[in-house]
Amino acid sequence: MLDHLLDDKAKQIREEARELVRWVPRDMILAMDKDEIQFPKEFLQEAGRRNLLGCRYPRKWGGRDLDWVTTCAVMEEVGTLGYIFACVFGVGAELVCDAIVQHGTDAQRAKYVTPLLRGEKFAAECLTEPRGGSDFFGTTTTALEDGDGFVLNGQKRFIVGAEGADYFLAYARTDPNPDTPGEKALTCFIVDRGPGVTVDYLYGLMGCRGGGAGRVVFKDVHIPKGNVVGTVNGAIAVFNTMMIPERLGTAAMTIGAARPALEVATDYTQKRKAFGQPINRFQGVSFQIAESAIQLDAARAMVYVTARAVDAGADPARIRRLVSETKKLVTENCQQVARHAMQVMGGIGYTNVFPIERIVRDLGLASIWTGTNEVMSMIVAHEWYRERALNKASAPHRDFEADAAEASAPGEKIFS
Ligand X SMILES: Cc1cc2nc3c(=O)[nH]c(=O)nc-3n(C[C@H](O)[C@H](O)[C@H](O)COP(=O)(O)OP(=O)(O)OC[C@H]3O[C@@H](n4cnc5c(N)ncnc54)[C@H](O)[C@@H]3O)c2cc1C
Residue numbers of the site for ligand X (CB under 6 A)?
91, 124-128, 132-134, 158-160, 205, 208, 213, 365, 368-372, 374-375, 378
Which residue, judged by CB position, is nearest to ligand X in the bound state? 133
CB count in 10 Å sphere of residue 329: 20
In the complex, the smallest distance separating the C-beta of residue 162 from ligand X, rounded to whole angstroms, is 8
Residues near 398 by beta carbon (within 8 Å), at least 6 away in sequence: none
The single-letter code of the amino acid at 60 is K
Amino acid letter at 393? Answer: A
Residue closer to ligand X, measured from CB, 304 or 369 = 369
Output the smallest distance, CB 90 to ligand X, in A.
10
Q: Report the residue number, 203 or 350, with the smaller CB distance to ligand X.
A: 203
Q: How far is the CB of 210 from ligand X (least distance, A)?
A: 11
Beta bridge partners, 82, equal none
Q: Measured between alpha carbons, how far is 226 from 246 in angstroms, rounded to an integer?
A: 25
- The CA distance from 229 to 237, in Å, is 10
State in angstroms the smallest separation of the CB of 107 from ligand X.
25
Q: Pick between residue 129 and residue 345 the one whose CB is nearest to ligand X.
A: 129
Given the complex with ligand X, which of 128 and 288 has the nearer CB atom?
128
Residue placing its CB nearer to ligand X in the complex, 65 or 374: 374
CB 8 to ligand X: min, Å: 34
For the chain, what's the residue count?
416
CB 160 within 8 A of CB 191: no
Of the pair 91, 344, the CB lying nearest ligand X is at: 91
Q: Shortest gap between Cβ of 114 and ligand X (angstroms)? A: 22
Shortest Cβ distance from residue 208 to ligand X (Å)? 5
Neighbours of 324 (CB within 10 A): 25
Nearer to ligand X, 357 or 362 (CB): 362
Count of alpha carbons within 13 angstroms of residue 25, beta-carbon side: 7
β pairing state of 214-224 and 149-159 = antiparallel
Residue 10 vs 362, nearer CB to ligand X? 362
Tell me the C-alpha distance between 304 and 9, whole Å: 16
Q: Which helix (H) or strand (E) holds 33?
A: helix 26-33
* Min CB(332)–ligand X separation in Å: 13
DSSP for residue 175: -
Shortest distance in whole angstroms from residue 256 CB to ligand X: 17
Residue closer to ligand X (CB basis): 348 or 368: 368
> Cα 89 to chain center, whole Å?
10
For 100, 217, 328, 330, 407, the CA distances from 376, given in Å and listed in that order, are 24, 28, 6, 12, 35
Within 174-314, residue ranges assigned H as helices are 235-244, 250-271, 283-311
292 and 262 Cβ atoms separated by less than 8 Å: yes
Q: Which amino acid is at 268?
A: Y
Nearest approach in angstroms of CB 195 to ligand X is 22
Question: Strand pairing partners for 224?
Answer: 149
3-state secondary structure of 164: coil
Query: Which of 160/345 has CB closer to ligand X?
Result: 160
